[in-house]
Amino acid sequence: MRVFTRAGAWALAAGCFGASWGGEPTVPYVPTPQEVVEKMLEIAKVGPQDYVIDLGSGDGRIVITAARKYGARGFGVDLNPERIEESLANARAAGVTGKVAFYRRDLFETDLSEATVITMYLLPRVNLALRPKLLELKPGTRIVSHDFSMDEWKADRHVSMEAKAKYGGSGGRSDIYFWIVPAKAGGVWQWQMPVGGRTLSYEMTLDQKYQMVSGSVKVGGRTVKLRSAKLTGDEIGIAFTAEINGQKVKHAFSGRVAGDTVEGRARLSGGRLESQVEWTAKRGARSAGAAAPRDALLSAASAAR
Ligand SMILES: C[S@@+](CC[C@H](N)C(=O)[O-])C[C@H]1O[C@@H](n2cnc3c(N)ncnc32)[C@H](O)[C@@H]1O
């Protein structure tokens, strides 16, 4: 319902839906109010190391603000040549021509691989059409969208604010949605680890839906559910409690997913046990429950305290 309200407001603010500039217009031109631009960049924690790409960049304000205020680099793409001319003039006026560029290009045909931050003010169906491409970006890439979500890919953060300058000054509410592209962490992970003087084999099955992960771990012949599992970009944290040598031992792992390897640290506590060890796990190709091929098991170098 909210979408219809917004679409109506858009039609008024944009003047029309049907203008054509030689490409297929997907979204009309409605600028993001400057106060919302600032909030989007703040939420994405844009800094000098960032490369910001605005999809459907209008007058260039998002990329220009990212460069002027935070020293970021980047580019914008828009199908409308007038918007590109305007953006280039705005970049010159802001003194950021060395940091930003604007191209007349279809956002669906734009290479996004350089981006550390993607910004967009599009439409729900356009966001959904982009979603598979966004999920293939480098884990950790931040995405900020003005007003429109990505349906079942729930935002990591959602902020709602009043924007006086919205819709040409008539004012309105703006929603800002923020995501961090998750690494691909689903599957069966195996590792070995020294625990209380013995080397134990672990097998963890992780189910992943977007950034949400859950699963179980098999150790010492028993399977326990993960108590917590969190995936933020390529950073993973998991925790569970398993019975080892008749004692309940809390396991807390943190690491980075890189392809089919996770590397990080594990903290074990419980009973008379208190140790920290390095943690290296490998993702196996087989399904959960099948016997582990010996060479698929990875040993963890121990650094017991
Ligand atoms: C709602 S405006 C947002 C402008 C700017 N990003 C902002 O937030 O102020 C959407 C822009 O996307 C552009 N656009 C629409 N379809 C596009 C496409 N397929 N490829 C590139 N740009 C497109 C329009 O020309 C318009 O300038």
| pLDDT at residue 19 greater than cutoff 80 | no
pLDDT at 295: 28
CATH 1.10.1370.20 fits 2-180, yes or no: no
Residue whose CA is closest, atom 11 of ligand 1? Answer: 56
* pLDDT surpasses 80 at 218: yes
| Topology (CATH) of 187-296 | Lipocalin (2.40.128)
Q: What is the pLDDT of residue 279?
A: 97
Q: How far is the CA of 210 from the centre of ligand 1 (A)?
A: 26
**Residue located via tokens 């020293």:** 71
What angle, rounded to 10 degrees, do the helices at 61-70 and 34-43 form? 60
- What DSSP element (H or E) covers 55? strand 51-55
CA 47/CA 3 separation, integer angstroms: 32
pLDDT in tens, 166-184: 988 889 999 999 999 999 9
Q: Whole-number mean pLDDT of the chain? A: 88
For residue 253, pLDDT over 70 is answered with yes
Q: Whose CA is nearest to atom 23 of ligand 1?
A: 56
Atom 2 of ligand 1: nearest residue by CA position: 29
The arithmetic mean of pLDDT across residues 15-22, rounded, is: 43
Return the axis-axis angle of helices 81-94 and 61-70, rounded to nearest 10°: 20
Ligand 1 pocket, residue 148 CB under 6 Å: no
- Evaluate whether 251 touches 242 at the Cβ level (below 8 Å): yes
Sign of the Cα pseudo-torsion (39, 44, 48, 53, in order): negative
With a 6 Å cutoff on the Cβ, whether 75 touches ligand 1 is no
Ligand 1 pocket, residue 107 CB under 6 Å: yes
Lowest mean pLDDT among 31-45, 78-92, 145-159, 262-276: 262-276
Taking 60 as the threshold, does the pLDDT of residue 66 lie above it? yes
Which residue ranges does the chain devote to CATH 3.40.50.150?
2-180
Structure tokens belonging to residue 124: 């729900």
> How far is the centre of ligand 1, averaged over its atoms, from the C-alpha of 55 (Å)?
6
Q: Does the pLDDT at position 121 exceed 90?
A: yes
pLDDT of residue 302: 32
For residue 82, give both structure tokens. 């007038």
Average pLDDT over residues 98-120: 98
In the chain, CATH 2.40.128 covers 187-296
Structure confidence at residue 1 as a pLDDT band (50, 70, 90): very low
Whole-model pTM? 0.88
Query: What's phi and psi for 46, nearest 5 deg?
Result: -70, 135
Average the pLDDT over 152-171 and give the result: 94
Q: Which tens digits make up the pLDDT trace of 187-207?
A: 999 999 998 888 999 999 999
Give residue 197's pLDDT: 85
- Choice between 111 and 18, residue whose per-residue pLDDT is larger: 111
Of 53, 9, 61, 56, the C-alpha closest to 37 is 61
Residue 158 identity: H
